[in-house]
Amino acid sequence: MYRTLKQAALGLALFTAALSAHAAEAHITVWANVDPTLSLLKADGSVLPDAVQMPYRAGQGLGSWSERVRVFSNDTSLDVDVRLAEPAVLMPKVTAAGATDIPLAVSLNGRELGVAPIAFTADQLFLGAIPGASIEMPLTVAQATPGPIAAAGLYDGPVSLVLVQRASSL
């Protein structure tokens, strides 16, 4: 009996060692961009994509990209200023000779954004549909001057929006 127990223990030890030889690990980097006062998210509360592709239609130019968004706030009584951090431009990266920058037009709820702040009043934004969230609005990026692009290639560039909650609404 002692010998059977000894053999069983040895078998269990070998089985355990064999399992650990086939072990796997998974590492996930989790990050968050936190502003305790404001967030610009998809209308359903999920994060906006980091990158989007604007379709090119030969002979017509770039198709626009649009997403339904909401401003989420910890104080819905305050106005919000929205602006671009810099002009939105697609820049040639890997292109044919003669490629030039392609200016983009960015709008939020039909209002064209630039580097100067555009005021969205609390009364316009926060109509009480969802606590802490604005009305649903289209965020749209389009070619500023629609039309064909002469130089083929890959163009890219950031569209960076800045939202600032005003200290008080007048």
Helix runs in 2-119, H state only:
2-21
Query: Quick one: tokens of 162?
Result: 């800045």
Distance CA 95, CA 23 (A): 46
Tens of pLDDT along the chain (170 residues)? 666 666 766 666 666 655 555 677 888 888 788 888 899 999 999 999 999 999 999 999 999 999 999 999 999 999 999 999 999 999 999 888 889 999 999 999 999 999 999 999 999 999 876 899 999 999 999 999 999 999 999 999 999 999 999 887 55
The alpha carbon of residue 114 and the mean position of all alpha carbons in its chain are separated, in whole angstroms, by: 19
Q: Where exactly are the structural domains of the chain?
A: 38-165
| CATH class of the region 38-165 | mainly beta
Closest C-alpha among 146, 87, 81, 90 to residue 119: 81
